[in-house]
Amino acid sequence: MFKFEELRTYHEAIEFVSEVYKLTKKWPKEEIFGLTNQLRRASVSISLNIAEGSSRKQKDFMHFLDMSRGSVFECVSIIIIAKNQMYITEKEYETLRTKCLTLAKMISKLKTSLTKYEPKTN
């Protein structure tokens, strides 16, 4: 098993991707290279950065977690646009937004847990 596969944050990110793909299948075909693609890529980026970062040194892992959190924020912006374009319902928006908030908090806590074990330098 790879180290990232043990992380609850990673599993939550993977579940989020599945929800995004399921939801965006219903979006207009003209959005396939627009919002659909952008939301899918941003959601996938969350888990990819967690996975890749876990293979790096602690400082680099923290940087990858920052990028992962940035992808969560990107997803929030996209779902706001999708709601305004009426591609998603208010309920779907709230569900996705809540999941994004949860992911952002989990990523921040994971990063904080890494700093607790950061080696001290003089």
Q: Which CATH number covers residue 71?
A: 1.20.1440.60
pLDDT tens-place string over residues 32-70: 999 999 999 999 999 999 999 999 999 999 999 999 999
Instruction: Indicate whether 106 pLDDT > 60.
Output: yes
Reported confidence tier of residue 121, pLDDT bands at 50, 70, 90: low
**In angstroms, rounded to a whole number, what is the distance separating the alpha carbons of residues 32 and 29?**
5
Distances (CA, A) of 60 to 25, 56, 65, 71: 35, 6, 9, 17
Domain that holds residue 18: 7-115
> Would residue 17 count as lying in a domain?
yes
> Would residue 1 count as lying in a domain?
no
What mean pLDDT is predicted for residues 2-27? 97
**Contacts of 70 by beta carbon, 8 Å cutoff, 6+ apart:** none
Q: What is the pLDDT of residue 122?
A: 47
Instruction: Indicate whether 120 pLDDT > 90.
Output: no
> Would residue 121 count as lying in a domain?
no
Instruction: Indicate whether 11 pLDDT > 90.
Output: yes
The structural domain count of the chain equals 1
SS (H, E, C) the chain: CCHHHHCHHHHHHHHHHHHHHHHHCCCCHHHCCCHHHHHHHHHHHHHHHHHHHHCCCHHHHHHHHHHHHHHHHHHHHHHHHHHHCCCCCHHHHHHHHHHHHHHHHHHHHHHHHHHHCCCCCC
What percent of the chain stands above pLDDT 70?
A: 95
Averaged pLDDT score across all residues of the chain: 94
Q: What is the pLDDT of residue 58?
A: 93
